[in-house]
Amino acid sequence: MNEQNFTELLSQFNTELSDTDVSSTVAVDALRVKFLGRKGLVTGLMRNMGALSAEERPAYGKRVNELKQEVEASLEAAIEQARLAELERKLNSGWTDISLPGNGLGSGSLHPLYEIREEIIDFFMNMGFHVETGRDIETDWYNFEALNTPPDHPSRDMQDTFYVADKVMLRTHTSGTQIHYMEDNKPPLRMIAPGHVYRVDSDATHAPMFQQVEGLVVDKDISFAHLKGLLFLWAQHLFGDKVKTRFRPSFFPFTEPSAEMDISCVFCQGKGCRRCKNTGWMEIGGCGSVDPIVLKNVNIDPEVYTGFAFGFGLDRIAMLRYAIPEIGLLTSNDQRFLRQF
């Protein structure tokens, strides 16, 4: 292909550009495709390189690139001219009151679980508690043995615990954080341990992964009465001054005596309804005095120090606080649900 062919192709492009409606981006883009598209006239010149000798190719390739650059520059100018023309037509076809407020962006909100978590942390920090997060993966010692859980306890079974290796598991509660804390610190102790826990359980009110917050107090002359008084204030802080509490005898390996804590039904105010199974009460968590064996396991003298511990599911509290019917909604990321908060 000689220089005359390049000149004729450039002349053809200039002629068609002058005949094109440069006030339309669609028309200019069609011209771009014709000359610079995959099957364009200028692009096709590069396919002729194979028929040339090695000596001819450098000069030929240079001339094709020069032609391509000249066409591209003309097309960019035409596109810009077309865009300005289209903008002018839009402005002339109507008017816009720029003093009107814009549509704006919808504001987000805190997730209900995060709100509950932070509110509980703030309450206990104001009461002088330290916050520890702990480890999601624990050994048998911290998750079970140090907490006085015997080897034949049902919670150690595969159907209740996610094991990742021999005597290594995803923690089934945040109580193991209490052991770490007591090993690293000496009484008096006040701490809470919020975090995720994992259990082989899943239904409308249970999830295989959920959030807990556990608390621990160890000092001289600590009694069960201190525990009841603290949790009563905590329940009133979360559910209002009219809420009532009760403690039912229960069993946990790491506390003695142990209790289940109930609050008066937040839906019927204790009168009895479907949600509380007409009892007027709703279970909210477990608690008790720290078992002396647990204190011995961390080298704290149970003859000198006593303490109490408690644990609550944040998901459960959020469901009660906001009347959420199913625990799965808290982790579904359903925007229809989250926009309610």
pLDDT one-digit tens code per residue, 126-172: 999 999 988 999 998 999 889 988 777 776 665 578 888 888 989 98
Question: Domain limits at 263?
Answer: 112-338
Does residue 142 sit within a domain?
A: yes
**Measured between alpha carbons, how far is 279 from 20 in angstroms, rounded to an integer?**
83
My answer on whether 225 and 297 are in the same domain is yes
> Would you say residue 100 lies in a domain?
no
Task: Tally helices (H) and strands (E) across the chain.
Answer: 10, 10
Report residue 121's pLDDT band, with 50, 70 and 90 as the boundaries: very high
Regarding whether 134 and 43 lie in a shared domain, the answer is: no
pLDDT category of residue 327 using cuts at 50, 70 and 90: confident
Task: Please tell me the predicted confidence (pLDDT) of residue 130.
Answer: 94
Q: Which of residues 63 and 190 earns the better pLDDT score?
A: 190
Rounded CA separation 296/254 (Å): 12
The residue that leads in pLDDT, 159 or 66, is 66
Q: Per the structure block, which two tokens stand in for 34?
A: 């014709």
Region of 272 please: left (phi>0), alpha (psi -120 to 50) or beta.
left
CA dihedral 238, 243, 244, 250 (to 10 degrees): -40
pTM for this model (two decimals): 0.65
The continuous run of DSSP H or E covering 298 comes out as none
Would you give the end-to-end CA distance of the chain in angstroms? 72
Q: Do 171 and 75 sit in the same domain of this protein?
A: no
Question: Residue 261 above 70 pLDDT?
Answer: yes
**Residue 159 and residue 78 in one domain:** no
End residue of a domain, out of 64, 93, 122? 93
Helix (H, G, I), strand (E, B) or coil at 198: strand
Average pLDDT along the chain = 86
User: How far from the centroid of its chain's Cα atoms is residue 57's Cα?
Assistant: 58
The answer to whether residue 98 sits within a structural domain is no
Residues 227 and 124 in one domain: yes
Task: Give residue 158's pLDDT.
Answer: 52
Residues 45 and 141 in one domain: no
Pick the closest to residue 24 from 94, 81, 91 (CA basis): 81
Tell me, yes or no, whether 138 and 229 share the same domain: yes
| Alpha-carbon span 301 to 293, nearest angstrom | 10
- 254 touches 294 (CB < 8 A): yes
What's the length of the chain? 341
DSSP-derived secondary structure letter, 151: T
159 and 225, same structural domain?
yes
Mean pLDDT for the stretch of residues 39-55: 80
Task: Name the E strands within the chain.
Answer: 130-131, 137-139, 163-165, 168-170, 189-198, 209-219, 245-252, 255-264, 281-290, 306-313
DSSP class of residue 60 equals H
Q: Are residues 124 and 265 in the same domain?
A: yes
Confidence of residue 109 (pLDDT cuts 50, 70, 90): confident
For the chain, the 3-state helix, strand and coil shares in percent, each to the nearest 5, are 45, 20, 35
Read off the pLDDT of each residue in 71-77 and give the average, rounded to a whole number. Answer: 89
| Tens of pLDDT, residues 289-311 | 999 999 999 999 999 999 999 99
162: domain CATH number is 3.30.930.10
Phi, psi (deg, nearest 5) at residue 95: -140, 155
The pLDDT tens digits of the residues spanning 180-214 come to 999 999 999 999 999 999 887 766 556 788 889 99
Please provide the DSSP assignment of 260-287 as one string: EEEEE-TTTTTS--TTTTTSSEEEEEEE
**Which residue, 61, 93, 125, sits at the end of a domain?**
93
Share of the chain above pLDDT 90, in %: 33
Does residue 232 share a domain with residue 123? yes
**Has residue 26 been placed in a domain?**
yes
Residue 219: the pLDDT is 96
Residues 226 and 153 in one domain: yes
Specify if 182 maps to a domain. Answer: yes
Rounded to the nearest 10°, the torsion over CA 196, 201, 204, 205 is -50
- Pick from 11-15, 174-178, 254-258: least confident: 11-15
Domain total for the chain? 2
- Claim to verify: residue 138 and residue 15 sit in the same structural domain: no
- Please, what sign has the CA dihedral across residues 225, 228, 234, 237? negative
